[in-house]
Each structure stands twice: as C-alpha cells, then as structure tokens.
Amino acid sequence: MINKIKNNCRPSQTSFSFGATSAIITILGLITGLDTLKQSKLSIIAGILVIALADNISDSLGIHMYQESECLNSREVWFSTCTNFLIRLLVSLTFVLIVSFLPIPLAMLCSVTWGLALLAGMSYTIARIRRVNPWQSIFEHISIAVIVIIASYFVGRWIIHSF
C-alpha cells in the first residue's frame, strides 16, 4: 500500500504541495499579524513580496538539498526546485492582488478565505491520491493554518501593547 501511494506521489506533486502550503500559511500569518498593527497596504504588499522572494528561495534551496540527499537524479531535483519556487511565487502574487485592490479589512478577510480554500482544495486532492478520508485531511490542515492565523494575530496585538 505504501509503495502504491509513493508511486502516485511524484517529486513535482511534493514540491507543488510544499510550496503552495508554505506560501499560503506564511502569508496568512504575515497579513493577519500586520493587520493588527494597522500597517499600510504598501507595508503588507512589501512584506508579501519579501516572503515571496527571500523565504521562497530559502525553502526552494531546502527542497533542493533534501532531494539531493535522497539521491534523486539531477533532473528531478531541479524540476522540484523550480516548481516549488514558481508555485510559491504565483500563490504569493495572488495575495498581492487581493491586498492591492481591496480595502485592508476586506483584503484580510478575502485573503484568509482564499488561503483556506486553496489549502482545502489541495488537502482534498492529496487525500484522494493517498486514498484517505479527505475531510479528516482538510480538517487537520485547516486547523493548523487557523492556529498560525490566531497566533499571528495575538503576536501583532502583543507588539501593539508592548511597544
């Protein structure tokens, strides 16, 4: 059974799901935390773009080195690295568009909704490939994202009251 699941999951799917998930959760934390600080649109967009580049390159290199240590062939390693980078960049840019065109309170709500919808869709797809209960997978992944969102909110509030 495990080999069958492994055969269904290719490096491109792994880097896609890692890249998108990482981008979504990191950016939702950033948006939620900065919103509590009442930052300007420009500050939030700048934060998203910094994450879209710096954190993205860092994670892509991490995937690259991990897959090299797993002795995957060079073509698979580079494909996963590039796929991870591009997916994270594209996902990040969707949040930039949301923040750019909507008032900040609405942008925050739409960003959280969009991010959780993307996570739910990916969770469902992966669960179907793995042949496990998709609703349990969706609940697990959304719960983790919600914990990050709530923690980011409270960190932002703490910063407001502490400094």
Q: Could you tell me which residues come within 8 angstroms of residue 65 by beta carbon, excluding any fewer than 6 positions away?
A: none
Q: Tokens 């935390």 belong to which residue?
A: 33
The model carries a pTM of 0.85
**Residue among 58, 63, 88 nearest 76 (CA):** 63
**Residue among 95, 17, 10 nearest 59 (CA):** 17
Mean pLDDT of 146-161: 93
Structure tokens at 151: 């923690």
Mean pLDDT of 95-116: 95
Split at pLDDT 50, 70, 90, the class of 1 is very low
Backbone angles phi, psi at 63, to 5 degrees: -65, -45
Let me know if 6 is exposed, middle or buried by CB neighbors in 10 A (0-12, 13-18, 19+). exposed
Q: Are 12 and 80 in contact (CB under 8 A)?
A: yes
Is pLDDT above 70 for 10?
no
Split at pLDDT 50, 70, 90, the class of 72 is confident
Mean pLDDT of 59-78: 88
- Per-residue pLDDT at 5: 44
Mean model confidence pLDDT for the chain? 87
Residue 72: CA count within 13 A, CB half-sphere: 18
Structure tokens at 112: 């959280």
Domain boundaries, the chain: 9-158
- Per-residue pLDDT at 150: 95
